[in-house]
Amino acid sequence: MKPEIFISDTPERAGAAAAAQVAHLAAETVSGRGIFTVAFSGGSLVELLAPCLLQYSRKDGIKWPAWHVFWADERCVPLTSPESNYGLAQERLFQYVPMLETGIYALEEERGPEGAADAYEAHLHKFFAPPPGRYPRFDLILLGMGEDGHTASLFPNHPLLEETRRWVAPITDSPKPPPRRVTLTLPVINSAYNIIFVATGSGKARVLSEVLGADTHGKGLPAQRVSPKDGTVQWFVDAAAAELLGKTET
């Protein structure tokens, strides 16, 4: 399915548009089956989404206890570290909402990348319990994109791009610090019902035009290879990131 692209004039408005869609998907999913499974990335994505999600929470009563939060990738650092995706999300969002104590998965970073990845995958097996040979299906995976086209902790030309056996893989040589991380693999990402990318800034313009260019869907750069067979992909970008796309602002 071809990705949808939504262009806003500023990073903040792109984040607000993405947050509105997250709130909509959460409400729809909770209404249908009582829970909402979402995997977050870190960095600017959390910073852009958090203010608007908190506003929706106050106005519309997001059912936070129904949320089950996981991580598209995570750094093998203490949860209190400024580099922890868990720590950032707690600081900017989750400490202010009524999440269940068991609603947010915390990486067992003390095990190191290999052990933490194994423990995370075992938790996903227990929580999702898909049929044999199938991958877990998140309701939503939230992704960013680096200026090199990486997403989650899947980097260009890295062997992990070809991983099909593992659901969660360790990485010890990330070209972006810190080097020790875990990441969902592409087959798991591509099994999600919904995927939302948020990309802002002129530094992303060149790679965004490549990722969303004609005849490149599912090929090449890691972000291009996010191509679910039975799910949706939506991009929320600002005008600076979209300047080479030839799109009109919405």
CATH number at residue 50: 3.40.50.1360
Tens-place pLDDT, residues 156-191? 999 999 999 999 999 999 999 999 999 999 999 999
Could you give the angle at the alpha carbon of 101 between the alpha carbons of 88 and 92, nearest 5°?
A: 20
The pLDDT, as a whole number, for residue 59 is 78
The pLDDT, as a whole number, for residue 60 is 73
Q: Is residue 177 part of a domain?
A: yes
Q: Is residue 82 part of a domain?
A: yes
Is the model's pLDDT at 14 over the cut of 70?
yes
The pLDDT, as a whole number, for residue 61 is 77
Q: How far apart are CA 173 and CA 208, in angstroms?
A: 25
Q: How far apart are CA 107 and CA 114, in angstroms?
A: 12
Q: Is residue 4 part of a domain?
A: no
The pLDDT, as a whole number, for residue 249 is 41
Q: Is residue 145 part of a domain?
A: yes
Number of domains in the chain: 1
CA 188 to chain centre: 12
Q: Is residue 37 part of a domain?
A: yes
Q: Is residue 180 part of a domain?
A: yes
Which structural domain, as residue segments, surrounds residue 36? 10-235
Do the Cβ atoms of 153 and 183 come closer than 8 Å? yes
pTM: 0.95
Q: Is residue 2 part of a domain?
A: no
Q: Is residue 211 part of a domain?
A: yes
